[in-house]
Amino acid sequence: MPEFAARIITWQKLHGRHDLPWQTKLNQPSDPYAIWVSEIMLQQTQVAAVIGYYAKFMRRFPDIASLAQATQEEVLQYWSGLGYYSRARNLHLAATTVMDTHVGIFPSDFSSIQSLPGIGRSTAAAIAAFAFNQRQTILDGNVKRVLARHFLIEGWPSGPAIEKKLWALAESLLPAQEIQAYTQGLMDLGATLCTRSKPKCEACPLNTTCMAFALQRVNDLPTPKPRKIIPQKNTTMLILRCGDEVMLEKRLASGIWGGLWSFPEMNALHQIEGRQVENEVQKRFGCKVLSNQTLPKLTHTFTHFKLHIQPHLLDTLQNHASKDNAHLWLNIEEAMGAAIPTAVRKILRSLQS
């Protein structure tokens, strides 16, 4: 076994994470469904943020059949606040695929795992390793950071040439045995010791062979992504309120927050006057506006752009407008429990206070 893998396996057994809710105990059979759900939730999201959502999600959808039978809206509701909602839509779609194509049994074949919606090469490898003890290679952000530092690999790790190099390196390091401990150890090492900032190199089991540590270049690697200007977008959200109820509008399935419930919007290319907002509400919803209050702006950051939101709180005469499948009138507590994005949740909380 390569020394690199042996050190990670030994360290993982002594110091790694062993009590995560989706992990099975030693010598007990693994649940592919539980591992699959956890790996999808962990895409671009830290363990601490996932644990609470995972427990709630698994109570409602304890198996593939219950997930497949649910509506997409309910799945999104249990994902609300976790972000990257395409993960939830793909998870639901993949569950229906498993029911239809694999008679409800999560596939063990690596190619079949990777063919499911929302599962890329690294995620498929993690599922295959943890659920079926298969010798497959992972390469998530944590692993890229460990490899880039240990082997002094310069260049942005997600660039095509560097990523290809990292895949080949990762494959060459795979141990012949104990693939689960090795895979978990790589993840744990990147998440707890070889962190992006303030890495704990003194406690790292690889510090005697790490080239970046030897050359005091740990903070230089991995090479950051080439900087580019982040696009800025603006929108105005219309918060129609009647008594203790507010109106939510279902967003189109495509685009940001696809399929979630949000406030109606007006594109804000320039400063919108209060009268324009009231006219828009009258035109679109037939609501007479009694008062119009401009709330503080908030900014929501997506992966590729920043969205600046200007909320307008509009007290209306009645709430009979737009009562259809695309609109809901709910009190704030009910609205907080709906499938809503984080930005909408923040606005609702401001209304509560």
Catalytic (active-site) positions: 39
Measured distance CA(151)–CA(117) in Å, rounded: 33
C-alpha–C-alpha distance, residues 321 and 137, integer Å? 54
CA–CA dist 304, 301 (Å, integer): 8
- Sole residue written with tokens 């689960």: 180
CA dist 301 and 284 (Å) reads: 28
By CB neighbour count within 10 A (0-12 exposed, 13-18 middle, 19+ buried), where does 120 fall?
exposed
Query: Kindly report the CA angle at 25 between 23 and 31, in degrees rounded to 5?
Result: 55
